[in-house]
Each structure stands twice: as structure tokens, then as C-alpha cells.
Amino acid sequence: MNLFELVFKQMRQRALSTWLTLLSVLLGVGLAIAIMILRREGAALLGQTEYGYDVLIGAKGSELQLVVNTVYHIEKSPGNIPYSIYETLPTNPQTRAYVQAAIPVGVGDSYQGYRIVGTLPALFGGDDEGRPLPPDQIIEYRPGHHYEVAQGQIFHPRKFQAILGADIPKLTGLTIGKTFKATHGLPLPNQVADIHAQEWTVTGILKPTHTAADRVIYIPLTSFYAISEHGQGLKAQAAVKAGINPAAIQPNAATRESDHDHDHDHDHDHEASFAMNPDGTIDLHIPKEDWSISAILVKARNPAMAQQLMYVFNNRPEAQAVNPASVMRTFFENFLKGPSMVLLLISLLVTIVAAVAILVSIYNSVSARLREIAILRALGATRSRVLSLICLEAGLIGLVGGVLGLLLGHGLGALASVYFNSFIGEGLNWMAVGPEEVLYLVVVVVIALLAGLVPALKAYRTPVATNLVTV
């Protein structure tokens, strides 16, 4: 009988103790591996440095809120900035030298819980006339990757049309040619949804980007402003700027509630906000100087110019400019890295406890098998062979428990990936095995071997004659 057969025989004889010890190792390693995956892939996901744009321009306030709202389409918008900021970027002497491409976005509505974003055809590589833009004028979501249409075509800039992110068809059932109505904001489950009267027709579906954009519905900015509540809001903002009481031109709360219940009241607001031309285009009655947007995505000519652009805006009162990569990197360092290290230390302590369990389990086993060990010695087994037998058993428990823990950790990573995907539209690369995981597995096996050394030394010193006589 070789060494491995003897080890397996010993483990079968005390199966319950062996399985419980394996379970303790499995749970400790599984927890540690899951934390490693979340720490590594969380940094890649939330602390990423690869964006296709260098600067986000938005309302003064929280930099993090601006980034997560614009990039990940979560959180509330920190506020609006004048559309004129976008229009003057290429002409303003303070900014024109720094900007290579820019795209405005407006948020505020949803469909079945998924964000609706107002923007321009330029985001998808086309101008307002449907012609392709020069490559250097196209905003990328990752370096070398821009939004592309997989089916259908880009929406018309002045029609009630929409283009869907890659995941939206399977999540909502929308397909090319279908129509939908937008919901105001993101209502909570117990709230009554305020559904706008306007109806959009789907004209295209984007190729997968594996970003939060896959779970977004894009509509033309013009149609975004044509929504009655948006139009009233723009008029109110314009009134405030002009020093006029907005209540004089904006419906009161009771009227708005009535509008939500009756389509003909909505239609009355439509007439005030826009008219439909015979060709189906929108004739918006709100002047451009009253338009506002949530943010502007800017691709600078180079990193140094991106810094200069941020300096310009951060010293102006109407907007702020941030580098999304820097903001998310800081967020990860401050809020996720520290807690993940604490959790990793806890998992290491759990692993050490599992090693103690191995020590106790095998030590008790050796104490109960002194006669068997003495018989092995009497049959010619050397002290070194007995020592190797006990250490191999401990190492095998550590190895098997570690491998199972590795699988458990990646299983937990898969669950976390599903959560992140449902939350921000991006998942974790949970299948990747990092070098730190392999190193950790080696450490676990070494610790298990060291844990088995104490009972192995007890077996090593077992007096043959005494144990053969007394037991």
C-alpha cells in the first residue's frame, strides 16, 4: 500500500472529521478569493482609467455624482447647465483650442426602469443630415471603440425616434419599429408612474459595448425638450433668469396632477412646447437660449489640454469640469480599497482558524491511532515515512479545500457580477484567475502542511513497544 492509499484510508476512517475540516478550509478560501475578485475587478470596473473622453462638464456640485450619473446612469443628476456652453465650446476663445469633439446629454426619464438619455446623432458617428462624421470627431466610450449601430439606423435629430442599447430589447421587449412612452424620472415601486403622452418609435439597436450604455435608450435632444414637463421646466428656468416669477407661467401642482391623468391636457401643453411639421419633424417652440443639458462629454486634443479645459471651467461659475477616470480612481481608493483590505484580513484569519482545525483534527486522529502507527513502525515504516504520511494528509486537506474554495470564490464572483450587471450594466470578469489567487492557494497548502507538522511530530516520536503492549 503506497503513501497516498494510506492517506485516503485514514481520511475515510474519520470521514466526518475530514469533511468538516475541509469545509472550514473551503469557506475561508472561498471568502478570500471572492474578496480578491471583487477588489481586482472592482478596481477595473469602478476605478477604470480607460474612457474614450477626457472631460465631463456638468453642474457645480459633487464630482462623483456627475460621473456616476453620466457614465453609469445611476444616481440623480446633480443639475443642469445651459446648452449654450456646448454650442460655444468650439468657438469660445477660452476653450476652442482644447476641444476635439463634444456631445451633450440630457437625462430625466426612463422606460420600465431603464434610463432614457437625450443626445445628438453625433454620439453614434453621424451628423444631423445622416452623414458619417470624420473619425477624429466621434466620441468613443473606450479608446478605439465607439458606438455602432447593429440593426436599423440612427434616429432623426428632430423626430420622436429612439435607438436602443444592446440589452434593452431582451430587457423590455422593444424592437425596431415598436413604439413606447417615457416615464418621468425613475419612480419607486410604490409610486404611481407619470407617463408622458409623447410616443417614440425605435429605429435602431446598438452593438454591445459591455458598458452601462447597453441598458440605455437614446432619443434626440429635440424630442427630449418636447416633453411637456421638460418644456415647462425650461420656461420656468428662463423666467427665473429673467427675474420673473415662474408661477406666473408654470402650471400649479394641481394642474400638473390633472395633466398626468388626462391626455387632452397633455396635448394642450404640447401645443405650447412644439408643433409637428408635415414631414414628421418637431418644430420646437422653446428657443435654444433656454435649453439646458445634464452634461457634456468632451474628447480633448491631448491630456495636457484636458487639464487646461478643466482649469477654465472650474474657475467659472456656471459649470464644473472633471476627469472621470480620476474621479472614479479616487472613489475606489477612498471608499472601496480600505474596506476590501479589512475583509481580506478577516478572510486570512478565517483561513488561519481553518489551519488550526486541521491541526486539532489530525492531532486527535494521531492520538486515537497510536497503536496503528506503532504497527506501521513494527512492519518497517520509518519515522520519516510516518511523518510524511501525517503531513501529506494535512497538505491534501489544505489543497482539496483550497481548490474547492477557489471554485466557491469564483461562484460568489459570478453572483456579484450579476448584481453589478443589473445595477450599472457592467459585470465583473469573474472567470479570470489572478496571480494573487494562485499565490494564496499555495500559502494555504503551506499553512496546512505546517499545521500537520505538530501531530506529525507526535506520530514521529511514538514509542513502538509501549503502544503495541498497552493497546
Residue-wise pLDDT tens digits, 11-56: 666 677 778 888 888 888 888 898 888 888 877 766 556 788 999 9
Residue-range domain boundaries for the chain: 3-46+330-470, 55-322
Which residues have CB under 8 Å from 12's CB, separation 6+? none
| 105, 340, 421, 422, 424 from 418: Cα distances, Å | 27, 19, 5, 6, 10
Nearest CA to 272 among 295, 249, 291, 289? 249
Task: Check: CB of residue 23 under 8 Å from CB of residue 404.
Answer: no
Q: Give the start-end residues of each E strand in 31-98.
A: 55-58, 81-82
Q: Are strands 99-111 and 81-82 parallel, antiparallel or unpaired?
A: unpaired
Asked whether residue 91 carries a pLDDT value surpassing 60, the answer given is yes
Q: Cα–chain-centroid distance for residue 67?
A: 13
Element (H, E) at 106: strand 99-111
Instruction: Name the pLDDT band for 296 (thresholds 50, 70, 90).
Output: very high
pLDDT higher than 90, residue 242: no
Give the whole-angstrom CA distance, residue 441 versus residue 402. Answer: 6
Q: What is the DSSP string of 284-335?
A: E-S-GGG-EESEEEEEESSHHHHHHHHHHHHTSSS-EEE-HHHHHHHHIIII
pLDDT band at 308 (very low <50, low <70, confident <90, very high): very high
Q: Name every residue whose Cβ is closer than 8 Å to that of residue 273 and which is 6 or more positions away in sequence.
A: 225, 226, 227, 228, 230, 231, 232, 284, 285, 286
| Per-residue model confidence as pLDDT tens digits over 203-222 | 999 999 988 899 999 999 99
- Say which residue, 264 or 156, is predicted with more confidence: 156
Residue 385 has pLDDT above 50, yes or no: yes
pLDDT for 267: 43
Contact 234, 292 (CB under 8 A): yes
**Given pLDDT bands bounded at 50, 70 and 90, which one contains residue 269?**
very low
Provide φ and ψ at 66, rounded to 5°.
Answer: -60, -45
- Reduced to 3 states (helix: H, G, I; strand: E, B; else coil), residue 121 is helix
The span from the CA of 30 to the CA of 34, in Å, is 6
pLDDT of residue 239 exceeding 60, the answer is: no
Determine the average pLDDT of the residues in 95-112.
94
C-alpha cell at 218: 437614446
Residue 271 identity: E
Chain-centroid distance of CA 317 in Å reads: 32
Looking at the chain, the number of H-run helices and the number of E-run strands are 16, 16
Task: Give yes or no for a contact between 26 and 320, defined as CB atoms under 8 angstroms apart.
Answer: no
CA pair distance 402, 30, nearest whole angstrom: 8
The pTM of the full predicted model, rounded to 2 decimals, is 0.74
Instruction: Quick: pLDDT tens for 412-441.
Output: 999 988 887 776 667 788 888 889 899 989
CA-CA-CA-CA dihedral for 16, 19, 23, 29, to nearest 10:
150
Which is nearest to 22 in space by CA: 362, 385, 438? Answer: 362
Query: Which residue in the block uniquely carries the three cell numbers 504520511?
Result: 389
Q: Which three cell numbers stand for residue 237?
A: 428656468
Kindly report the number of other CB atoms within 10 A of residue 86's CB atom.
22
Is residue 30 within 8 A of residue 405, CB to CB? The reply is: yes
Share of the chain above pLDDT 70, in %: 77
pLDDT averaged over every residue in the chain:
82
